[in-house]
Amino acid sequence: MYIFHYIILSVSTLSLLFIYFYSFYKLQKKEEVIIEKNKQLMQIYLNSQFINKVLIDSLKISYSLDFCCFLIEQIKEYYNLQELIIIDSVKYISEDYSTPIKSSVIKFIKKENYALLKMLPGHGLKQFNININDIEYVLYISKLASTKQSNGLIIGIEFAPCLLSKDDKINLENAINLLKNRLFYE
């Protein structure tokens, strides 16, 4: 009789311990998910603050050239880009750029221009990895205009590996599209 009670007590104790540890494990997993979601929300908040600041600055700075230069510097700083190059036309690129990075990227663009232009979406941003002087770079390339006749480009250059998250790339695309709008419509 006592053995039966002992077995029942042992089984119930083990089942309670299992339930306790399983609940603790699930609680830890939920906490990790909440922490990750909070990080994502914070990044979305910071990105929206950047875009809001740019939009307000767009209203404050009336001269387009000043605003575009300001926005290029803001984009480079916020997204940690090494360079941001604007090319009016791939067919008429000059090779006398001030830095070796720019010169090497321009050579790459000249060599791959037709293949690049076919791969680029209308307003989107395409990511490419290239090696310049044994240093890996990530290029973010977008068409200057979405028409078929346009072959101008905006190129962001970042050291590899890519540090931008999916949301950061979307917001970089939005910032570049704001730059395009100001370049075209002012």
pLDDT at 152: 78
133 conformational bin, left if phi > 0, alpha if psi -120 to 50, beta if neither: left
Name the more confident of 172 and 186: 172
pLDDT at 89: 65
Q: Based on the number of CB atoms within 10 Å of its own CB, is 170 exposed (0-12), middle (13-18) or buried (19 or more)?
A: middle
Q: Where are the domains of the chain?
A: 61-185
Question: Above pLDDT 90, what percent of the chain?
Answer: 8
pLDDT at 11: 78
> Residue 82 and residue 127: Cα distance in Å, rounded?
15
Q: 80 is written with which tokens?
A: 């940690």
The pTM assigned to this predicted structure is 0.74
**Domain 61-185 coded CATH 3.40.50.720:** no
Is the confidence at residue 94, as pLDDT, over 70? no
DSSP secondary structure letter of residue 80: T
- The answer to whether residues 153 and 142 touch, using CB atoms and an 8 Å cutoff, is yes
Name the more confident of 58 and 92: 58
Is the confidence at residue 139, as pLDDT, over 70? yes
Strand partners, 139: 128, 157
> Residue 165 and residue 79: Cα distance in Å, rounded?
11
> Residue 177 and residue 75: Cα distance in Å, rounded?
12
